[in-house]
Amino acid sequence: MTQPPVSNPLLAGLQEDQLAQPCTLVIFGGGGDLSKRKLLPAVYNQSLDGALPASFALLGVALQEMDDQGYRQFAREGIERFSRQPLDEQYWPDFERMLHYESGSFTDPQTYQRLKQRLEEIDQTFGIPGNRVFYLAIPPALIETCVQNLNDAGLVYPVDDAQHFSRVIVEKPIGHDLQSARQVNDVLGRNLDESQIYRIDHYLGKETVQNILVMRFGNSIFEPLWNHKYIEHVQITVAEAEGVGTRAGYYDHAGALRDMVQNHILQLLTLIAMEPPWAMRADVIRDHRQDVLNCLRPITPDIVNQHVVRAQYGPGYHEGFDVPGYRREEGVGPDSTTETFVALKVFIDNWRWAGVPFYIRTGKRMTKRASEIAVHFRGVPPVLFNADPSHPIAQNVLALSIQPNEGLSLGISTKLPGPKVRIFPVKMDFRYGSTFGDQSPEAYERLMLDVMAGDATLFMRRDAVERSWVFIEDILDAWNSSGVRWLPEYTAGSWGPVEAERMIENDGFKWRLL
């Protein structure tokens, strides 16, 4: 198959760096929404950019009855609608021949026997040396059955097999509490070596998130200041404009704390707060991220009301439409106490971050979709230009915009032109779109390529999953024992409840306006 030239400057050198190996990507749940919206468009973009290995094929597995041609049409519809690059009619025939489909139940051992035979046929056709990447885009309840059947069918190679590899990608959520997370991890551990397991968190594949380590450790100006002596506080915001939509059945049993904080936001926190790694190796990076999780100060029942705010969105006028409150959404109980917004004040009890508060907030039906990490540096002494307490100089803030406008900015003070000394805050801005032109690769593109290369740097290890749940479960236990039957509401389209404003203002700070 002819590979098109690499046109995206963000992908230059990616093949050499990643060394993606020939393999077949098997997507369990290949006919589902995640595959249509994210996975199949991601593979198409990888192929169009010339980033896939030379010998590659994709096999979708799902309950729906389809043949290869039907699956190719399913993939085409998803790519036409959701791909970051338009469908290339001249290239499409080359791409679609890589797509295959096998229907069957995930609980039926015969499905896996047919799958094994089909994979052997694909290997011969495409010259693939038996390497497999299994993507489990399935409900958590099916993970145990799927992994056990893969093992029983001989589709998982021993970890010491030097000729072939088997790697399994597991989608979040990994459990709904510490006990269930351990059960899922035990199932995976009985059938796979930890080195074969890739627990995916798509936030870690975003371009700006990957850039955190480069920004911190590739520039001499930041690291000397990256501690409690110079940083006053840090804000992490992950705001969603949409409501629960069609996910009410899942979300009403999860809530914002489980859905966003336990995985996405705590992982962002570890990258911002980790110590400098001595090597850019997966085990080193993940060890350093784990150290941050180990140092999180527990939020115990006696302080939970001072450190955590939860709320639900109420009715409002959002993006031109009247929208209902959370408890009026279809699939949500009228007496639900599931939080759609949560704000936390978190401390990391180690030498670097002693006493520095990390403020976290996330919610649905907020003013707009935006994710940002803002590092607020301590102000200059109250002398010279900062001597007037009624007109203090704005603090320096380093803001990393994760989405939608990927980039970073640094706020500094400068003199306004003119004969008098007047101070004015300005921003030094960098945006991926304006600097590099082309749209950045989607997170799933990078992460799947990493799995093909055997690079686990951006994936969660078992101990990280379970340590995150330990921190979160303290809060959940406090909530469950409180007997609360009603949560405060915030107007849909706002930045959250007044209680969250009070929490941060009590410490003398304010949430940033994004």
Instruction: Kindly give the confidence (pLDDT) of every residue in the chain, 514 residues in length, as a single tens digit, with 9 standing for 90 and above.
Output: 444 544 444 444 443 455 789 999 999 999 999 999 999 999 999 999 999 998 999 999 999 999 999 999 999 999 999 999 999 999 999 999 999 999 999 999 999 999 999 999 999 999 999 999 999 999 888 898 999 999 999 999 988 777 889 999 998 888 889 999 999 999 999 999 999 999 998 888 888 888 899 899 999 999 999 999 999 999 999 999 999 888 888 888 899 999 999 989 999 999 999 999 998 889 999 999 999 999 999 999 899 999 999 999 999 987 778 899 999 998 898 889 999 999 999 999 999 999 999 999 999 999 999 999 999 999 887 777 776 777 777 789 999 998 888 889 998 888 888 777 777 778 888 887 777 766 678 889 999 999 999 999 999 999 999 999 999 999 999 998 888 889 999 999 999 999 999 999 999 999 998 8
202 is in an annotated binding site: yes
Phi-psi region of 355 (alpha: psi -120 to 50; beta: other; left: phi over 0): left
pLDDT of 16 reads 42
- Provide the angle, in degrees to the nearest 10, between the axes of the packed helices 462-482 and 282-294: 20
> Which residue, 202, 177, 192, 103, is CA-closest to 143?
192
283 is in an annotated binding site: no
Q: How many CB atoms lie within 10 A of CB 326?
A: 27
Match 């904080």 to its residue by tokens.
261
Any idea which residues carry the catalytic annotation?
264
pLDDT of 9 reads 47
288 is in an annotated binding site: no
Beta bridge partners of 296: 348
Cβ(162)–Cβ(152) below 8 Å: no
> Which residue, 448, 375, 391, is CA-closest to 40?
448
pLDDT of 59 reads 97
Cβ(351)–Cβ(225) below 8 Å: no
68 is in an annotated binding site: no
Report the alpha-carbon distance of residue 261 to residue 266 in Å, rounded.
Answer: 6
227-258 in b/e form (b: 16+ CB < 10 A) is: eeeebbbbbbbbbbeebbeeebeebbebbbbb
Query: Which residues are within 8 A (CB) of 60 and not within 5 positions of it... i.e. 6 or more apart?
Result: 27, 30, 31, 35, 71, 99, 100, 101, 102
Beta bridge partners of 316: 323, 492
Token digits of residue 107: 């609980």
pTM summary value? 0.90
307 is in an annotated binding site: no
**Exposure of 182 by Cβ count < 10 A (0-12 exposed, 13-18 middle, 19+ buried)?**
middle
pLDDT of 6 reads 46
438 is in an annotated binding site: no
Token digits of residue 177: 């509490």
Match 């990643």 to its residue by tokens.
18
* Cα diameter, the chain: 84
